[in-house]
Amino acid sequence: MSIEIRNIRKQFGQFTALDNVSLDIAAGELLALLGPSGCGKTTLLRIIAGLEKPDAGQVLFGGADATHTHVAERQVGFVFQHYALFRHMTVFDNVAFGLSVKPRRERPSAEEIRERVMKLLKMVQLDWLADAYPGQLSGGQRQRIALARSLAVEPKVLLLDEPFGALDAKVRKDLRRWLRELHNDMHITSVFVTHDQEEALEVSDRVVVMDHGHIEQVGRPDDIYEHPATPFVTQFLGDVNLFHGRVDAGQLTIGSYEQALGQHQDADGDAAVAYVRPHDLDLTLQADGALAQGRVEHIHAVGPVVRVELQQADGQTIEAAVSKERFRALGIVPGDTVYVTPRKLAVFLKDAAG
């Protein structure tokens, strides 16, 4: 089922949690809401769920206005970070719960419930734990059971709020991949809240990057990563170096580096900031055409990539990540002066960069 969010506003007292947010979610899509703590992701998810009322705007489910539809009638399934399974019930009974409390005329027969629950347990690959109690499960297993439980009532929409937030890094990674595969099989429209960039980029069809109650950018993961639309998105998605220069009629100049840009044609000596990720920065021993120079402060040579930290004359640091081969060829040691050139950069005029 598709979801449309139209001009949603939400205030908590004087505080604006959501400021005129609009978003279209396609049927069967897995969408990540990504942003720093307090940006409004959970509030937006709760409004989609019907757990929170917006002050203005509409939520449409499958094209029909659901803004005032009660949560129980929206046919949404939830998975939260700390999803409390019933401790005194077996895994089977936990998953069956939503079905067994349905009014008698809607309740499937005991045999149908058994079949559906076992199918879901197989799907989350935990059918062998049907008779176990939550206390006997690992955190990752509990979240998979929570997901099976939310799917038992056949929701039209699945809402997940930091579902793997409380788990350790390795389990999180496994569950991410697993959720993606499960979604590929089921195609339930799903909205997934996370503050973890890697998680959002790996799991979802599209990512919505939020900040301070508004949407900064919506796009496919590779698009968002390769073409961040704003300085905020660029910085939020990963480590980045900032270099200050100017743009004149589409021509960028920073230090002795010059590049014709496909944008900012009407800039007239405007101050600009170039954002370059450490792995998009090359080190060189030539001053000509370099963005900047620095003194080698630290070298971290663990794994196939060598991270080199440089200090500029003004005290600012630059971080570059180069291949081991490149590093060896340069033969640099702490204290040396080296130069940097970009393989790829994102340029924003100072007004936008703030």
Which stretch of DSSP H or E encloses residue 170?
helix 169-186
Q: How far apart are CA 200 and CA 193, in angstroms?
A: 8
- Residues contacting 159, CB < 8 A, separation 6+: 45, 48, 49, 76, 77, 78, 79, 190, 191
Output the smallest distance, CB 7 to ligand ATP, in A.
17
On the CB side of 270, CA atoms within 13 Å amount to 21
Output the smallest distance, CB 194 to ligand ATP, in A.
8
Output the smallest distance, CB 37 to ligand ATP, in A.
3
Output the smallest distance, CB 182 to ligand ATP, in A.
24
Q: How far apart are CA 337 and CA 189, in angstroms?
A: 53
Output the smallest distance, CB 165 to ligand ATP, in A.
9
Output the smallest distance, CB 204 to ligand ATP, in A.
16
Q: Interaction with ligand ATP in 190-209: which residues (CB under 6 A)?
A: 195
Query: Looking at the DSSP assignment, which residues form a beta bridge with residue 207?
Result: 32, 219
Determine if 41 is a binding residue for ligand ATP (CB under 6 A): yes
Output the smallest distance, CB 234 to ligand ATP, in A.
19
Q: Which of 12, 88, 263, 286 binds ligand ATP (CB under 6 A)?
A: 12
Output the smallest distance, CB 235 to ligand ATP, in A.
17
Q: How far apart are CA 46 and CA 29, in angstroms?
A: 18
Determine if 128 is a binding residue for ligand ATP (CB under 6 A): no
| Contact present, 85 and 141 (Cβ < 8 Å) | no
| Contact present, 148 and 156 (Cβ < 8 Å) | no
Nearer to ligand ATP, 195 or 295 (CB): 195
Determine if 17 is a binding residue for ligand ATP (CB under 6 A): yes
Rg, C-alpha atoms of the chain = 25
Determine if 142 is a binding residue for ligand ATP (CB under 6 A): no
Q: Which of 35, 155, 163, 221 binds ligand ATP (CB under 6 A)?
A: 35
Q: Where are the beta strands (DSSP E) in 26-181?
A: 30-34, 56-61, 64-65, 76-80, 157-161
Q: How far apart are the first and last CA of the chain?
A: 40
| Contact present, 203 and 30 (Cβ < 8 Å) | yes
Could you tell me which stretch among 19-27, 41-49, 245-253, 299-307 binds ligand ATP (CB under 6 A)? Answer: 41-49
Residue least distant from ligand ATP (Cβ): 42
| CB-neighbour burial class of residue 94 (10 A; exposed 0-12, middle 13-18, buried 19+) | buried
Could you tell me which stretch among 32-40, 241-249, 287-295, 327-335 binds ligand ATP (CB under 6 A)? Answer: 32-40
Output the smallest distance, CB 151 to ligand ATP, in A.
23
Could you tell me which stretch among 37-45, 110-118, 130-138, 260-268 binds ligand ATP (CB under 6 A)? Answer: 37-45
- Cα distances from 129 to residues 133, 138, 179, 246, in angstroms, run 8, 11, 19, 62
- Cα distances from 196 to residues 35, 168, 176, 276, 319, in angstroms, run 8, 13, 12, 20, 22
Determine if 42 is a binding residue for ligand ATP (CB under 6 A): yes
Output the smallest distance, CB 209 to ligand ATP, in A.
12
Q: Which of 39, 208, 276, 346 binds ligand ATP (CB under 6 A)?
A: 39
Residues in binding contact with ligand ATP, number by CB under 6 A: 12
Q: How far apart are CA 98 and CA 94, in angstroms?
A: 8
Determine if 215 is a binding residue for ligand ATP (CB under 6 A): no
Q: How far apart are CA 62 and CA 136, in angstroms?
A: 40
Could you tell me which stretch among 20-28, 39-47, 285-293, 327-335 binds ligand ATP (CB under 6 A)? Answer: 39-47
Determine if 43 is a binding residue for ligand ATP (CB under 6 A): yes
Q: For binding to ligand ATP (CB under 6 A), which residues are involved?
A: 12, 15, 17, 35, 37-43, 195
